Structure 1
Amino acid sequence: MHAESAAREQSRSALAKMVTKAFENWHLSSVEQTAMLGLAPGNRAAIHRYRKGAPLAASRDMLERAGHILAIHKSLRILFPHNRDLAYQWMRTRNRAFDNRTPAELIQQRGFEGLLMVRAYLDRARAH
């Protein structure tokens, strides 16, 4: 394997572990996790492989989703620096800004658009 492609695969593997750790911290169901990554709802095997360190797919969609997920995680840690429990519960807490749905439900229902909506909401919250 070419050194550059091996390094990229290793980066995607590290990314997979970070994303699945965020899912674990947020206590998301497997259906919510697959929705966030744009996978078929029943594809728990992929989530399990990613948790074990298999590299994320090299698709632009998957890598963009992973980037948004990690940005959401970072924003929550910044917004709630002294209360990790609150930061980790936020994805499962109903929010009026999302029509009284949880951010996880919004993403599950709206897909990539929902992911962007949640990230934008947190970006605005950080700006204030």
Structure 2
Amino acid sequence: MLATNRAQAKTTNKDESIVLAKAVTRLFKHWGISQDSQCSLLGISLSSRKKLKSMAEGLVGIPTGRDSHERVGYLLAIHKALRLLYPKNPELLYGWITMRNKKFEGRTPLEVMIEDGYLGIAKVSRYLDMSRGR
């Protein structure tokens, strides 16, 4: 019985990883960002660009490890916050990420996330949480 539970947990984790990979790559398309930016946001090397296509097609999941899962969690939280803030404005919903922002010293949220890495992604997510009063 224990072996079955372990097998189910591995399958679920792999399945969840694939669902997350498809969701985040779909989000990147909506944001209209380059593959280099996508790799930076996921914390993978630029030589892994081919992996992005496999992720989008559901052939592989997000990279294993806590860092990757937390990055994807923050990125999807950013999208959720933007959906709540701009439910009827697709230009802001998908374009906000590339708009200059005074709160980020004139940088775009995308620049903050790429330049500051994991901490920048968390910073943008927290900013949006505060903006919507959470």
TM-score by length of 2: 0.90
Q: Deviations over 1:52-111 (max 9, x none)?
A: 111112200000011000000000000001112211000111111111111111111110
Q: Specify the alignment match of 2:118 in structure 1.
A: 112
Identity of aligned residues (%): 35
User: 1:1-128 residue pairs with structure 2 within 5 A?
Assistant: 2-53=7-58, 54-127=60-133
Distance 2:124 2:100 in 1: 12
Greater RCO structure (CA 8 Å; 6+ sep): 1
* Greater than 4 Å deviation, 4+ residue runs: none
- Give the residue type in structure 2 aligned to 1:24: K
Deviates more, 1:46-55 or 1:116-125: 46-55
Residue 41 of structure 1 deviates from its aligned partner by 3.0
Q: Secondary structure at the match of 1:111?
A: helix
Structure whose alpha-carbon radius of gyration is higher: 2
Counterpart CA distance in 1 for 2:22 and 2:68 is 14
How far apart, in 2, do the equivalents of 1:47 and 1:99 lie?
Answer: 31
Q: Letter of the 1:107 partner, please give it.
A: M
Shift of 1:47: 1.4
Gap regions ≥5 residues in structure 2: 1-5
CA RMSD of aligned residues (A): 1.5
